Every structure is written in C-alpha cells, then in structure tokens.
Amino acid sequence: MTYSNDRRIVMTLDAGGTNFVFNAVQANQEILEAIVLPAKGENLEAVLKTIIEGFRQVKGKLANNPVAISFAFPGPADFERGIIGDLQNLPFFKGGVALGPMLEETFGVPVFINNDGDLFTYGEAIAGILPEINQRLEQAGNSKRYHNLFGVTFGTGFGGGIVTRNGLLIGDNCAGGEINRTRNRTFKSWDAEESVSIRGLKREYANNTGVNIGSCPEPKDIFEIAMGKRVGDRSSAIKAFEAYARDAADAIANAITLIDGLVVIGGGLSGAYPVFLPKLVEEMNTPFDTMSGHPLDRMEVVAYNLEDPAGLGNFLESTTIDIPVPFSEKTVRFDANKKIGVGISRLGASKAVSIGAYTFALSKLK
C-alpha cells in the first residue's frame, strides 16, 4: 500500500524533548521547509499552544487544505484515542492529556498519533527495506516474498515496531513492539535499554578504558576509534560495540521468534553498523546449550546480514526443490531453509516516520 502519487496533504510533527519540528507530506514527500519551535514551556498550556501554533503555521503555508494530522509522539499513551500519558521528556504531560481530540477540535480534521518506532517500521515496510528486498528476490529468481517486518531504533533509547501483512501491530493497550522492556541479557535485573542505548555504549567504553563516564567520548567518536579513524583505545571501542550487539541481538532474537520476518535497524547509532552488525547477526544465530549436551538452534530461522555482500547473496539464493506427492506423479515446491535478513534503514528514521505517518493517516480515511 503506497500513496506516492496521492495529492492529499497531511500535516506532521516530529516531537522531540528539545524541539517540535512541523511539516506537511504529500505523495510521500515533505513539501515545506520545516518549522521548528521549542518543546519546552512554563506549563502544559504553553506547550499545547506551541503545538497548535506550529500546525497553524504549516496550514498557513499550504496551497490546499490538509485532510489529516498524523505524527509520532512519545509514550506511554492511548494512541488510538490520542491521549498522552506521563512523559519523561515532556514532564507537563501527566495524568492523561487529550492531545488528539484537542487538535481535531482546533483544525477540524482527523488526527492520528502513533509511537515513533511503529511509524518508522511502517515507513520501511511501505517504501524502504521490505519492498527493496522483495524486488531483489524477484530479480534473483527466488519466489520467496516477505510480508512481516520488525523495526528497531538504536539511539538515546531502544525502540521497536511491528508490521505484519501490511498492517501495524499496535496491541490492545497501544503497547505493541515495546522491545525496550525485554530483559537485559547481561544484567538480569535491568531492562534491555540500559545496554542497548547511547548510555549503555558509553558505559561499556568507560568501563573498558577506565575513564570517567562524564569524559567518555560520544558514540560517533567511539565508532571512529573502533574503525581506526580516530586516535583512542580501539580494542575497548570494539568491545563496547560487541557488548551492545550481544544485548541487542538477544532481545531481537526473542522478538523475531514470535514475529518471523525481516529486521530493519534505524536511529542515530545505526550508522555504526560496520562495527556492530556482524556480531549482532552472529549472536542471533548462536545456539542454546541443552541438558542433553546437544545444541539447540537459537531461532527456528537463520539470520543473514543484508549489509554484507556474501550474507546478502546467501539470503537471496533460492534453495527450493521439487518433492513428490505420495501416491501421485505430481510434485510440489518445498524450501526447508527458513531465512530472515537483518539490514539497516533504507530511508533514514526521520523520512521513514514521515512516510509511515502519511500512509497510516490516508489508510484510515474513507
């Protein structure tokens, strides 16, 4: 489902803890220069008026009226009803704030709010990695097609989203895909996000080098040290990313065991994939030990690194064979090899969220 030629306009918002970034999307493209307003305010009323003002400025720049407002906003929330709960980054949102209904009353159009991880995954499913991989399978003469996508975002936190058969899996409490709440592989009493985050990466590097975490380099610098492009403790930088990859892989493997689909990684830390992705895929495929002494496959599927030419080639290769139908001269096609691929965002998180928000809104309109 794509609206790349649709002329309808949807107003959007990228809601961060520091800034609100407003725009409008038409035919899967942002059509304005972004309007940036500060997210901070003296109280809830001031923050809500800033949001209204941002959308008013966007509407004032449009040649045609928008048909909807659609955007990502932090949770916890009842996204289906547009009610925002208690937020950490925006502390004035407490006890339930009817943000969606307020905007519908103000602008007279439907309002759709979702989690950023959900919309990121939706955008990649519509116009990113999912259609690209299916096209490459077709070009390779492989009849296999993928319809499910699990998206994760690596950055300040650890976010997730699930698209199954063209639809978002939101959950009965708007809490689907919350991978950050899975158990930490290394520190059993922590959640996964304590390690799969910027703070987790910096903590590992600081522990490995003995530096104070306050003076620890930023992730981009740690990546460049690991790649040998910047002076520093290269061994410690590589170990920090490997620890990050192990904990991320465990959470992703748990999730993909239930979902069975491709995996796409986005967010600010995804650009460091040359360091962490090989280890992440290796860890996903590392078998369990058993009491019998015989190893058990970690997943029922095998993960392939889609950013590695050899891994991509093996993933695209068809292993389908013809098997006989018992008591018949007929044959049927069968592939005993169950494959999934793990790749990096094709759109970038921001664009994927915009396309996801646009597509979600139009798919809900009559």
Mean pLDDT computed over 284-297: 95
Provide the pLDDT for residue 66.
Answer: 97
Strand ranges, E, within the chain: 9-15, 19-26, 29-30, 35-38, 68-72, 77-78, 83-84, 97-98, 111-114, 148-154, 158-164, 167-168, 262-266, 302-305, 321-324, 331-334, 339-344
Distant-in-sequence, close-in-space partners of 67: CB < 8 Å, separation ≥ 6: 8, 9, 10, 109, 110, 361, 362, 365
Query: Could you report the per-residue pLDDT of 36-65, keeping only the tens digit for each?
Result: 999 888 899 999 999 999 999 999 999 999
Instruction: Report the C-alpha gap between 355 and 25 in whole angstroms.
Output: 8
Residue 270 is classified by DSSP as: G
Contact 196, 244 (CB under 8 A): yes
pLDDT bin (cut points 50, 70, 90) of residue 1 is: low
CA distances from 125 to 5, 136, 144, 257, 349 (A): 17, 15, 16, 19, 12
Is the pLDDT at 145 greater than 70, yes or no?
yes
Provide the pLDDT for residue 173.
Answer: 87
Helices 309-316 and 129-139 pack at an angle, to 10 degrees, of 70
Query: Could you report the per-residue pLDDT of 56-115, keeping only the tens digit for each?
Result: 999 999 999 999 999 998 888 899 999 998 887 778 888 899 999 999 999 999 999 999
Instruction: Report the C-alpha gap between 80 and 344 in whole angstroms.
Output: 29
Is the pLDDT at 221 greater than 90, yes or no?
yes
Instruction: Report the C-alpha gap between 326 and 320 in whole angstroms.
Output: 18
Mean pLDDT computed over 10-28: 89
CA torsion through residues 219, 225, 228, 234, sign: negative
Mean pLDDT computed over every residue of the chain:
94
Provide the pLDDT for residue 14.
Answer: 84
pLDDT bin (cut points 50, 70, 90) of residue 357 is: very high
Query: Could you report the per-residue pLDDT of 157-201, keeping only the tens digit for each?
Result: 999 999 998 888 888 888 889 999 999 999 999 999 999 999 999
Domain residue ranges in the chain: 9-114, 129-346
Contact 181, 190 (CB under 8 A): no
Instruction: Report the C-alpha gap between 25 and 333 in whole angstroms.
Output: 43
Contact 282, 252 (CB under 8 A): no
Chain position carrying tokens 């209204």: 52
User: In the CATH hierarchy, which fold is given to the domain comprising 129-346?
Assistant: Nucleotidyltransferase; domain 5 (3.30.420)
Mean pLDDT computed over 224-245: 97
Other C-beta atoms closer than 10 Å to the C-beta of 298 total 19
Mean pLDDT computed over 13-22: 84
Could you name the CATH architecture of 9-114?
Answer: 2-Layer Sandwich (3.30)
Same CATH fold, 129-346 and 9-114? yes
Tokens of 182: 């899975």
